[in-house]
Structure 1
Amino acid sequence: MTRGSQRDRDRERAAARTAKSGKNKDDGLTPEQRRERDAKALQEKAAKKAAAESGGKDAGNSNAKTKK
């Protein structure tokens, strides 16, 4: 049995799903603006993580990763 028609159907379904979700790659930003936005988001995330680690350490935390 050939799989060509199934592939075509799957492509159509995938296109319909992406169109329905409304999430497009085109957000009206230039690549430079997108890089700046993403860098800012990563910096904020790293700062939040660092603050959580410094303020929320538990002496008895058995799940903490330690270097050996």
Structure 2
Amino acid sequence: MDLTQTTQKPEESANDFIMRWRSLNLQCSEKITEQSAMQMRYNNLMTDIATFVAITETQSFDALVSKASNVER
């Protein structure tokens, strides 16, 4: 439940949000699939960043971090 409600804060970089979300995910006793995790992280990015980060092309954590960083720059 916390994972679905953990969203990017207005002053937070996409990388910081993704790292914070990932850290929270690692603390959960019930593990979710990587695809579900990718979808949740994507859904919880700020809209102006998520618009430019295509989840269908982003299949790994590192790829998501890279794409989000590029969009912010």
Bin for the TM-score computed over the shorter chain: under 0.3
**Structure of greater Rg:** 1
TM-score using structure 2 length? 0.24
Question: Greater relative contact order: 1 or 2 (C-alpha under 8 angstroms, separation 6 or more)?
Answer: 2
TM-score using structure 1 length? 0.26
